[in-house]
Structure 1
Amino acid sequence: MADLDARDVPVDPTSQERLSASRLEYRVVDLSDPAQLRGFARADARGFLDKEPDDETIRVMGEMMSGRRNIGVYAPGADLPVATVDSWVTPMTVPGDAGAHLDMWAISIVTVAATHRRRGIARNLLEGELRAAASAGVPIAGLTATEATIYGRYGFGPAIPVSRVRVDARRAGGVTLPAADGATTVEYLEPEALLAALGEVHERARLDRPGDIPGWPLRWRRMAGLVPGDERSRAVRGVRAVDADGGTRGVLAYTLDELPDEFGADFAIRHLDAETPEALRALWAFAVNHDLIRTVHADLRPIDDPLPWLVANQRAVQTTVHDHGWLRILDVPAVLGARSYRAPLDLVLRVSDPLGLAEGSWRLRVGQDGKGVIDVTTDAPDVELGVDALSSLYLGGVSAPTLRAAGRISASAETAAAIQNAFGTAAAPALTIWY
């Protein structure tokens, strides 16, 4: 885990000055103050179209957000902020040996009240977060976006695409497991055991998945159906995949949504994590082969999830790929030096940045050992690109030839292919949670 505590980083003075000129106060929110906590929680609910939070919901949110850097923007004399954002520093897995990671400034709860749109507040929130992260020495920022058209202007690039899948269980023909998988079994879990398994399996599994980050207690409580006020909590069920030694190697939290016109249900996956291929196959078989199921639904699956190859009829699996994890590089040498590469490479990158944080030219040399050496250079560039495009390329989940074809990077076809050979990964990056 990162040593830096984002709560120790002061508000960005540039954003503070800009918002002050509009008679808006931009400050860290003290969640130990019940009135400030209530206002922040209410603003969060308003921004994400949730119902007004009750006292217990506010308490639980405060418990989660107390470990984060919470920022509010306030109109004169108001207790309820007109805008919010929170952030924390977390390890993000990067390509390399198991457990290789990079400290990331995670950004969440970005809201602006409908009464205060188009006043530059969102710009100052996002730019303020990026300047604060850079000033603290954090080399990259990340977020998951409810809207896809907002964050590119600040240098973020979609870097971790994921799949939303829908399986017609009646047409799929079932999942037939290899005989060797017989040692892996599936067992039901009680809610508290499900809660423990969700956190434990994710923490181990994420170490092998570039792009993934640790979860937090409230997330696992929500997935396990143990959060007060969650109307679907009583419908949550859970199972685990157990190996021959009795170890938990996979976990699945789900609900069964009854069909209105027949005896049956749709199987909705809330969270699915697996450390081994055997555990993943066992959990997919449990879902798809479940009695009386019409469809199985899941989101946030890696784009190379083997599900279509597990069922007898691939046409029963509908897959929709969508953006999920967005990254924003702040320190090019630190970021490029943190990961391993699949092929040797020697090229000069010219990076443009609307905020100037990652602007510059660097030579990246990758040897046969997959390690990169990055130096500042004045040599002519082999590739020119924005920080958003470099951020998209970073984990290997977005193709350099694709970005070249879209006009997002300027390079020869040969150079784009060489970048792809070096940056590409055997397994697709993954981010199995929202934050």
Structure 2
Amino acid sequence: MVNVRPAGPDSWPDVATVMGERGDPSRCFCQYFRLRGKAWSGSSPADNREGLHAQVRDGELPPGVVAYDGDAPVGWCAVGPRTSYPRVVASPNWRTDHLDAWVITCFVVPVGHRRKGIAGELVRGALDLARSYGAPSVEACAVDTTAAGRIPSADLYRGPLSVYLDAGFTEVSRTSPQWVLVRRPAG
């Protein structure tokens, strides 16, 4: 049974475990959407790791949710107010008139735990977190995996469209066949 909890100071070791030692998550630590320009290009994996660590440890809001299978951490989903993500605010792919919405920016589900419904559980946990902080709605820029043939798993970090549709999100707009802005009320 998978359960999902907000990331707080006690869960940092679990977040770090999910990010792993190799691959994009271990270099990005969900900082890509939080940094722009030179702040991003000048950051190192160690800087990004410390950035997320500080957000988990010290932030007023949890920066995301962690999925557990029993006691084992098996997934991560970054979620927060749109204003927490300067790259989202500036992106044409995330254009919206819902400036007070929260956004889901990325998922990490390590190899060995994929295709088991964990992303869907993480979306539900992200919605619960957003709702608990009074978010009126939650948006994401989903990946439509049916739009352009096979998509590498590394490109699915924003989450497949099907996961969002299954959680009650609706399509708002498309800026390309694969980039689909989706939204649903947080409540």
Q: TM-score, normalized by length of structure 2? A: 0.55
Q: Answer yes or no: is 1:35 the counterpart of 2:8.
A: no
Equivalent residue for 2:164?
151
Distance 1:116 1:135 in 2: 27
What are the superposed Cα offsets for residues 11-61 of structure 1, whole Å, 9 maximum, x if unpaired?
A: xxxxxxxxxxx2x4532333577634532432xx76xx4274454442234
Q: Answer yes or no: is 1:122 the counterpart of 2:114.
A: no
What are the superposed Cα offsets for residues 60-116 of structure 1, whole Å, 9 maximum, x if unpaired?
A: 3434666443211234454xx211112112357755xxxxx5411211332323322
Alpha-carbon contact 2:25-2:108 (below 8 Å) kept: no
The secondary structure found in structure 1 opposite 2:116 is coil
The secondary structure found in structure 2 opposite 1:60 is helix
Distance 2:132 2:25 in 1: 37
Distance 2:161 2:14 in 1: 30
Distance 1:326 1:29 in 2: 25
The count of corresponding residues between Structure 1 and Structure 2 is 141
Q: Answer yes or no: is 1:327 the counterpart of 2:182.
A: yes
Equivalent residue for 1:295?
none
For residue 154 of structure 1, report the CA deviation from its aligned partner: 1.7
Name the CA shift for 1:85/1:32 in 2 (closer, same or farther; >3 Å): same
Name the CA shift for 1:77/1:323 in 2 (closer, same or farther; >3 Å): closer
Alpha-carbon contact 1:73-1:84 (below 8 Å) kept: yes
What are the superposed Cα offsets for residues 216-257 of structure 1, whole Å, 9 maximum, x if unpaired?
A: xxxxxxxxxxxxxxxxxxxxxxxxxxxxxxxxxxxxxxxxxx
Which one-letter code corresponds to 2:50 in the other structure?
R
Equivalent residue for 1:85?
77
Distance 2:26 2:184 in 1: 36
Equivalent residue for 2:104?
107
User: After the TM superposition, which residues 265-284 of structure 1 pair with which residues of structure 2 at under 5 Å, given as runs?
Assistant: none
Distance 1:35 1:94 in 2: 35
Name the CA shift for 1:131/1:72 in 2 (closer, same or farther; >3 Å): closer
Distance 1:135 1:57 in 2: 27
What are the superposed Cα offsets for residues 171-192 of structure 1, whole Å, 9 maximum, x if unpaired?
A: xxxxxxxxxxxxxxxxxxxxxx
Which one-letter code corresponds to 2:4 in the other structure?
Y
Equivalent residue for 2:24?
50
The secondary structure found in structure 2 opposite 1:115 is coil
Alpha-carbon contact 1:31-1:37 (below 8 Å) kept: no
The secondary structure found in structure 2 opposite 1:119 is coil
Alpha-carbon contact 1:26-1:71 (below 8 Å) kept: yes
Q: Where do 5+ consecutive residues of structure 1 fail to align?
A: 1-21, 96-100, 163-320, 332-356, 358-435
Alpha-carbon contact 1:158-1:324 (below 8 Å) kept: no
Which one-letter code corresponds to 1:28 in the other structure?
P
Which one-letter code corresponds to 2:179 in the other structure?
H
More helix by share: 2
Alpha-carbon contact 1:37-1:58 (below 8 Å) kept: no
For residue 140 of structure 1, report the CA deviation from its aligned partner: 1.4
For residue 141 of structure 1, report the CA deviation from its aligned partner: 0.7
Equivalent residue for 1:364?
none
Q: TM-score, normalized by length of structure 1? A: 0.27
Greater C-alpha Rg: 1
Distance 1:55 1:140 in 2: 33
